[in-house]
Amino acid sequence: MFHLRTCAAKLRPLTASQTVKTFSQNRPAAARTFQQIRCYSAPVAAEPFLSGTSSNYVEEMYCAWLENPKSVHKSWDIFFRNTNAGAPPGTAYQSPLPLSRGSLAAVAHAQSLVEAQPNVDKLVEDHLAVQSLIRAYQIRGHHVAQLDPLGILDADLDSSVPADIISSTDKLDLAVFKERLRMLTVGGFYGLDESDLDKVFHLPTTTFIGGQESALPLREIIRRLEMAYCQHIGVEFMFINDLEQCQWIRQKFETPGIMQFTNEEKRTLLARLVRSTRFEEFLQRKWSSEKRFGLEGCEVLIPALKTIIDKSSENGVDYVIMGMPHRGRLNVLANVIRKELEQIFCQFDSKLEAADEGSGDVKYHLGMYHRRINRVTDRNITLSLVANPSHLEAADPVVMGKTKAEQFYCGDTEGKKVMSILLHGDAAFAGQGIVYETFHLSDLPSYTTHGTVHVVVNNQIGFTTDPRMARSSPYPTDVARVVNAPIFHVNSDDPEAVMYVCKVAAEWRSTFHKDVVVDLVCYRRNGHNEMDEPMFTQPLMYKQIRKQKPVLQKYAELLVSQGVVNQPEYEEEISKYDKICEEAFARSKDEKILHIKHWLDSPWPGFFTLDGQPRSMSCPSTGLTEDILTHIGNVASSVPVENFTIHGGLSRILKTRGEMVKNRTVDWALAEYMAFGSLLKEGIHIRLSGQDVERGTFSHRHHVLHDQNVDKRTCIPMNHLWPNQAPYTVCNSSLSEYGVLGFELGFAMASPNALVLWEAQFGDFHNTAQCIIDQFICPGQAKWVRQNGIVLLLPHGMEGMGPEHSSARPERFLQMCNDDPDVLPDLKEANFDINQLYDCNWVVVNCSTPGNFFHVLRRQILLPFRKPLIIFTPKSLLRHPEARSSFDEMLPGTHFQRVIPEDGPAAQNPENVKRLLFCTGKVYYDLTRERKARDMVGQVAITRIEQLSPFPFDLLLKEVQKYPNAELAWCQEEHKNQGYYDYVKPRLRTTISRAKPVWYAGRDPAAAPATGNKKTHLTELQRLLDTAFDLDIFKNFS
Ligand SMILES: Cc1ncc(C[n+]2csc(CCOP(=O)(O)OP(=O)(O)O)c2C)c(N)n1
Ligand SMILES: [Mg+2]
């Protein structure tokens, strides 16, 4: 049902407003008070002196009286006061008595009339009522705006009209309006009645409906409020806690006549609608049985996006990064980003062969990067659409992160040059929690992109689900209210209203640098995809949709009727675009090969050779000179600014660090410092983000020092290392994993010359970011030929802390590695280790020494390509006295050790060794302690696998061959169905051509990652150590 409502069109008498206009033109604008003005609407017959010829004079008197009641003759003063106080016609005028006997009494009589208390009270009440009414429209007007092009659903899921708005539910029905007014007045909400409609009220400063006028009759006030808030645009903004921002929005929507378009703008809009509509029709004609998730029903999206981009370009933006779901994606690629049409069309050819390595992705997930001239502003603009998975809204934080990085690298500290636009579906925007997480990044200093423009394709359905079953909030956009983002709902069948809100949204962003939402209330002409039958579930809606005239046709008819275009011009525009499509279609048939790299959203110019290959297939030494190590160590153990008081406990930590530097050793924190500090020297930007990373969850890092005497005074010694170093960013994130990991992944996409790390508070928390891991990090390169060097630091280790906080779930990462467990690669291949890294989907390591941690971090950047790196990081080892590395392990010529072989007595006499134990990570220290205690150093060799994936087949084969008489066992502290066993065992067996068994020493399978009982934990640990060193235990199984 339509919410056709308003009153004034029928009720408005022009005389009152014209009169007031004349008044106000003569009045200084500043004279806005809450003073009541009762317009002298009394019939002329009742006030004989008010003849037509005297009206100008009366107006002048009235204006003068408004400014200063004493400036007019007392009789006028009394007249105007009485009129405004509600004196009935014919009684307002009191002729002044001659100043003779009795005159004082007469004055007193007049005075008493003026000051009649009930009238003054009414006067104040009426003004307050009008003010409340204005405010009610500003707050709730959007609830009655005509937003649904189908006229069947209420965009806010509520058909009632708010109790404090006078709108009738049917604009044309005067009786309904009167009834509503009566309900609100007679003993009702405002205490106003119909006769008040012609009274003139001063407008408060919190409204702009007056334009140049500072007072209006109530009838006109209501009409203008209806025009501003209850037509095709619903503005939701009164929750914003900033007066200036509210005033800005009011001014943009209330100012009379503000929504004006030139004929040229209208023609451009029509041409853009032609492209949008005809593109979908073309695809439908050519590939009627292919899924494309067309835009039909929201064709206005294309001109909407182009308007946002035009306006932003005009305001200085030269790079727009976009993220969007399936709906209308091909159309956006074709008509907003301007991807060559033949490249899009050839994606429909299933016989094309893929030219690039990788498994590719469906056409409506691929990304794009394109630099071109914006024809409207004549300025260069780069547009990038980020590739995305099916998982709705998952790309939101990725787009934000990439935007932040692009801003960072071009020094755009205020977001004036680079911006993001995010598109959403209505169901996904309301339903997916990542939307909320992403909004909460929008204003954080290290995460803000200075405003994202969000556009919701609100087709009032999600697949088959009605919005009333899909959300509990009135609008799908309510989530944006948490960050005070204004929300502009708009009926997408009114293309000019859509253009207007898009312009305002872009201006909002460039003025306030904050998020804003455009909610395009539209419909979906077809099913969820073109093969889908919508009538199964939405019969009535789709009956209405079948009747719905397409927006292009409606708008074309409007412009033809206005004489802005004529019919032949319109038809010419259509056939011109159809021809473009046909020609591109013909060209697309020549394409024989599908190049996924043509769909790259983030090229890295100069990093690869011209044909996209790494510049070498080797990695230099990751070691550093003693001088560099010492210098970094000294800065890491000092406070590099004057008069800065740090906490006493921290002084002790820094002192210990200083002693380690003197002793040429590093612990975990210092090794990380060395890696970061040295890369900064080489111009590599480093960004470490995650919950509490600045200090470190385990209080070991302390990268940000806090002055104990001056609030918020901090110092980051890492930024005081070298004169021309790259900047170091370390930032505590919001308490989000999905959002923040997605953000950092996006940040890492922008440049290969940055080390971007995300640290989980505890490794197991990564599972709330699983979507980013599963959909982007693990398969990203295979799907989108896009490399990414993000590093995940996941604290891991079974330390008796219970089922939570123990396991970073290594089994999950290992299960997703793409190396074949059953095929032994060619170990003699030159640069075997680098080739292996090049071929893998990600690198998984668990370092047992700080030195190796240092090397793997540096290797991440010194490699000639980029791969995600998953590091299981320690907790207790951070402070373990044996978990130290000497500078000697970090000097020039040293490397990351994929495997750390046994180097004790067992290695001296390998043929005496009875058992070769393989392990990874912290359990190594438990094993060596136990071996020593059992005096078995010559019988059991312990080899550490530091790089789990890609699996170091070559080095492990050497280890096995070195101990010909040893049985092989894998030892882990994790439960058998978890940890590394299932990954390592088949690969070890392949390494030795299945010549021997690989035994297991570790915890039994379990549902939970760890016991909650400390004693049980210790018992389990002892049992696994017993198994590891009982040389007879596997005999029975042979
Ligand atoms: C995270 C996630 N869950 C479920 C789906 C399956 N799915 C694909 S489209 C869709 C409906 C989306 O509705 P809406 O967001 O309104 O977009 P529309 O298709 O209407 O444009 C669903 C549930 C998905 N792609 N992603
Ligand atoms: Mg939808």
Q: Looking at the DSSP assignment, which residues form a beta bridge with residue 947? A: 845
Regarding the beta carbon of 457 and ligand 1, being less than 6 Å apart is answered: yes
Q: What is the pLDDT of residues 662-678, one digit of tens each?
A: 999 999 999 999 999 99
Average pLDDT over residues 861-869: 98
| Any ligand 1 atom below 6 A from CB of 462 | yes
Query: Is 428's C-beta closer than 6 angstroms to any atom of ligand 1?
Result: yes
Q: Is the CB of 291 under 6 A from ligand 1?
A: no
What spacing in Å lies between the alpha carbon of 313 and ligand 2's midpoint? 29
Per-residue pLDDT reduced to its tens digit, 94-126: 444 443 444 434 443 444 444 455 577 878 888
- Count the neighbouring beta carbons within 10 Å of the beta carbon of residue 290: 15
Question: Comparing 718 with 353, which gets the higher pLDDT?
Answer: 718
461 lines ligand 1 (CB under 6 A): yes
> To which H or E segment does residue 941 belong?
strand 940-945
The pick from 299, 392, 529 for probing ligand 1's pocket by mutation, whose C-beta has the most ligand atoms within 8 angstroms, reads 392
Residue nearest to atom 1 of ligand 1 (CA): 391
The amino acid present at 914, given as its one-letter code, is K
Question: CB-based burial of residue 544 (10 Å sphere; 0-12 exposed, 13-18 middle, 19+ buried)?
Answer: middle
Centre of ligand 2 from the C-alpha of residue 462, in Å: 4
> Which atom of ligand 1 is nearest to 771's Cα?
1
- Write out the residues surrounding ion ligand 2, Cβ under 5 A: 425-427, 459, 461-462
Instruction: State the pLDDT at residue 413.
Output: 97
Ligand 2 center to 459 CA (angstroms)? 5
Ligand nearest to the CA of 460: 2
pLDDT for res 194: 73
* Among candidate residues 506, 480, 494, 483, the one with its CA nearest the CA of residue 426: 480
Query: Is the CB of 459 within 6 Å of ligand 1?
Result: yes
Return the closest-CA partner of residue 738 out of 420, 431, 438: 438
451-455, 508-512, 591-595, 724-728: least confidently modelled range: 591-595
Ligand nearest to the CA of 328: 1
- Spacing, Cα 478 to ligand 2 middle (Å): 15
Residue 670 contacts residue 636 (beta carbons within 8 Å)? yes
The predicted structure's pLDDT at residue 290: 85
The more confident residue out of 767 and 39 is 767
Ligand closest to CA 425: 1
Q: What is 423-456 written as a DSSP string?
A: EEEHHHHHH-HHHHHHHTTTTSTTT--S-EEEEE
The confidence band for 349, taking pLDDT boundaries of 50, 70 and 90, is confident
Are the beta carbons of 949 and 984 closer than 8 angstroms?
A: no
pLDDT digits (tens, 9 = 90+) for 869-895: 999 999 999 999 999 999 999 999 999
What spacing in Å lies between the alpha carbon of 659 and ligand 2's midpoint?
A: 62
CB burial of residue 402 (10 Å; 0-12, 13-18, 19+): buried
* Whether residue 83 has pLDDT greater than 80: no
Q: Which of 460, 463, 466, 471 should be mutated for ligand 1, with most atoms under 8 A from CB? A: 463
Above 70 in pLDDT, residue 174? no
Is ligand 1 within 6 A of the CB of residue 390? yes
The CA distance from 319 to 316, in Å, is 9
Q: Which of 203-217, 585-599, 802-816 has the weakest average pLDDT?
A: 585-599
401-to-243, 251, 452, 912 alpha-carbon distances in Å: 30, 33, 12, 55
pTM of the model: 0.88
Q: Does residue 426 line the site of ligand 1, with CB under 6 A?
A: yes
- Whether the CB of 455 sits within 6 Å of ligand 1: no
Query: Running DSSP on this structure, what letter comes out for residue 258?
Result: -
Q: How far is CA 445 from the centre of its chain?
A: 15
Report CA(331)–ligand 1 centroid distance (Å). Answer: 18
Residue 458 has pLDDT above 90, yes or no: yes
Q: What does 848-865 look like in DSSP terms, one character per residue?
A: SSHHHHHHHHHHHHHSSS
Question: Beta partners for 358?
Answer: none
Q: Of 498, 576, 467, which is closest to residue 306 (Cα–Cα)? A: 498
Give the closest ligand to the alpha carbon of residue 771. Answer: 1
Span 805-812, mean pLDDT?
96
pLDDT in tens, 995-1011: 999 999 999 999 999 99
> What is the overall mean pLDDT for the chain?
88
Return the exposure string of 851-866: e unless at least 16 CB atoms fall within 10 Å of the residue's CB, then b: bbbbbbbbbbbbbbbb
Question: Are 354 and 594 contacting, i.e. CB atoms less than 8 angstroms apart?
Answer: yes
**Cα 509 from chain centre:** 14
**Ligand 1 touching residue 425 (CB < 6 A):** yes
